Amino acid sequence: MQREEPKSEPGSQAKSGVKAKGAKELAHALVYLGPSLILFLIFVFYPMVKTVYLSFYLTNPGGDPVVWKGIQAYLTLLGSSSFRNSVVVSFLFVLYTVPGTILASLLLAVLANVKLRGIGVYRTLYSLTIGVSVASAATIWMLLFSPADNGMLNYFLHLVGLPKIGWLVTTRSALPSLALMTVWMGVGFNFIVLMGGLQSLPEEIFESARIDGAGRWKQFRHITVPLLSPTLFFLLVVDTIAAFQSFGQFNILTLGGPDHSTNVIVYSIYREAFFNSRFGPASAQAVVLFVIILILTLLQFGVVERKVHYQ
């Protein structure tokens, strides 16, 4: 065990001593940080830069950049009605899923935030979908959505006297159907986070509100929601990013169809890169996706977070 050098030494020796100490400390720290840093370098930072680099090229099918194209790929995307459609579809998907997921989970969390016998069982059930993979969820919902007579959802509609819906097979209903299934998948995680938020709220505030005669709705609107706003904001950011990145349900249930009505950006990148081997233009799409997510996240921090009530 080496003796620590004293913090301050007089004279010019001290400076080089401090420097040497700093270098030694950094070297020690890098032993611990090294494994993660190396992995991030290879699998996060290098590929991020490489994606931007590839977006300026046409590649051969092996993925090697061959022809410099400059910003041609981006200009092509701007003019491409198919890509514009993908951007719109992605935004619509986010719009359909994020508020729905948060509202449904908030409802369940408020319901489950009571002291009742057996409430633990309900809480476990409500968080169950966090363990359901997109592949199994999509397979189950494929059957629920079946447009045949014995499709479960259509049978329910029939029971309450409503007409059948085409679910995944019509251009109008396919995206909302995927959103419905995605909301279901997201409830588990959102519920767990909101439940934690609700349980950390101080009980006394509600008691004094009750004494002041505030009803349940008033308490919810004026106490619960403001106090819960940091948690709600966290979910808004995380859910938005996750919705933009959804892929499995599109690949399993609709393949971007019918008639491109569910062709979100991620699915379009996947087709372009791994079916058409056009890695350059696909990379340009990946860069655009990254920029969209980044801007949206910054906007959320800039605009929405001002309304967040931090204690």
Partner 1 sequence: MKAGSRTHATKVVQYALLTLGALIIVFPILYAVGLSLMSGGEAAAYPPHIIPQHFQLKNFVTAVSEAPLGRFMLNSFIVSVIVTLAQLVTASLAAYAFAFMEFPFKKIIFLVFLSTMMIPGESTLIPNYLTIRSWHWINTYQGLTVPFMATAFGTFLLRQFFLTLPRDLFDAARIDGCGRFRFLWSIVLPMARPALGTLGVYAFINTWNQYLWPLLITNSTSMRTVQIGIGMLQFQDATTWNVVMAGVVIILLPSLLTLVLGQKQLVKGLTSGAVKG
Phi–psi pair at 66, nearest 5 degrees: -120, -55
Q: In the bound complex, what is the minimum distance in angstroms from residue 90's beta carbon to partner 1?
A: 11
Rounded Cα distance, 75 and 168, in Å: 33
Task: Please report whether residue 276 would count as binding partner 1 according to CB under 8 A.
Answer: no
Task: Please report whether residue 220 would count as binding partner 1 according to CB under 8 A.
Answer: no
Name which of 217 and 310 has its Cβ closer to partner 1. 310
Name which of 173 and 283 has its Cβ closer to partner 1. 283
Task: Please report whether residue 66 would count as binding partner 1 according to CB under 8 A.
Answer: no
Structure tokens that stand for 290 in this block: 């990254």
Q: Which of 73, 178, 193, 236 binds partner 1 (CB under 8 A)?
A: 193
Task: Please report whether residue 83 would count as binding partner 1 according to CB under 8 A.
Answer: no
Please say whether the beta carbons of 249 and 182 come within 8 A.
yes
Task: Please report whether residue 296 would count as binding partner 1 according to CB under 8 A.
Answer: no
Choose one: 74-82, 94-102, 169-177, 192-200; the region binding partner 1 (CB under 8 A).
192-200
Q: In the bound complex, what is the minimum distance in angstroms from residue 288's beta carbon to partner 1?
A: 10
Task: Please report whether residue 253 would count as binding partner 1 according to CB under 8 A.
Answer: no
Task: Please report whether residue 247 would count as binding partner 1 according to CB under 8 A.
Answer: yes
Task: Please report whether residue 155 would count as binding partner 1 according to CB under 8 A.
Answer: yes
- Tell me whether residue 126 is exposed, middle or buried, using C-beta atoms within 10 angstroms of its C-beta: 0 to 12, 13 to 18, 19 or more: buried
Task: Please report whether residue 255 would count as binding partner 1 according to CB under 8 A.
Answer: no
Site size with partner 1, rule: CB under 8 A: 98
Q: Which contacts qualify for 223-229: CB closer than 8 Å, 24 or more apart?
A: 224/110, 224/198, 226/309, 227/201, 227/309, 227/311, 228/194, 228/197, 228/198, 228/201, 229/307, 229/308, 229/309
